[in-house]
A and B are shown apart, each in its own frame.
Chain A
Amino acid sequence: MKNKSVIEEAEDIQRAAEMVRLGARMQMLEAETKLSRERLLKIYKEVRGVSPPKGMLPFSTDWFITWQPNVHSSLFMGFFEFFRSSAGLKGLDAILKAYHLYLDQIEAEAMEPVLSLTRAWTLVRFFDADLLQLAPCKSCGGHFVAHAYDPTHDFVCGLCNMPSRAGKTRRATKAALADAG
């Protein structure tokens, strides 16, 4: 689709540049702006200095259910739901603001972000397509990402009922050893 208004186009360019800065892939840029592919490629190269990665986006909902990604996606969806319901923001604006808050939180804990912007965007699309839902944990009351149509009446989240190996990555062990030594 071609842009009719110059002002709208300028806004789209701003948005596209922000998305690229946050790590968006081409598919997201193409879906969320009305700019041509050539324009988007130029923006991408200008911001990142390299060509965008090729290939398809991950399309499975299972990634969001595994332990660590689930914690991070649930946090993002919490922010996103606030912006959509209490603040009345729509679509991309809510995604970008929620993602900024997510990054702030991760930075405050000195962690690595697990959820990329494109993943977060895919997550919201999965919710819109009714492939995923938010399930209330019966132990802590928090809302967590779960497969749609899974029974949720006695759902317990991965943080109340932590798997024994959860979070014990090689890097975490190394960091703990470094702290102790």
Chain B
Amino acid sequence: MQRQDFQSEIQELNLAYLMLAQQMLRNDRETAMFRLGIGNDIADLIIGLSSAKLVKMASSQVLLPRFRFDDVLLTGLLAGKGRDATSSSLHAAILATGKPVQELDR
């Protein structure tokens, strides 16, 4: 069987992610930070990327956006576990607001 490395798919997704993130941040910085789950320093970094750097960053082997919630209850609620769909999604949203955003290590 041929080995699939998903290289081009990953790069495509990375590029789309970075471009969307940049657009969102330029449009409404604070709301975008919430939606992307990133802190001030990462927001600055993404906004400051030139197109050349953005393409360079996207052509990596690994996915840049990563799974955001490392919480069993929260992921369960997001997937619709609970008494009814609307209250579990509201519950998930409330829990998600309290999760820390991603910051850069110094």
Contact = CB atoms under 8 A, between A and B. Distances in A.
A167 B94 contact: no
A86 B94 contact: no
Interface residues of B, number: 23
* Size category, A interface: 20 to 34
Interface in B30-78: 30-31, 33-34, 39-40, 73
B86 A82 contact: no
A87 B30 contact: yes
Contacts of A111: 86
Contact of A86 (B39, B73, B90): B39
A141 B93 contact: no
Interface of A: 71-72, 74-75, 78-79, 81-83, 86-89, 93, 97, 100-101, 105, 109, 111, 140-144, 159, 162, 166-167
Nearest to B84: A167
Given A97-B30, A101-B34, A140-B73, A71 B90 contact: yes
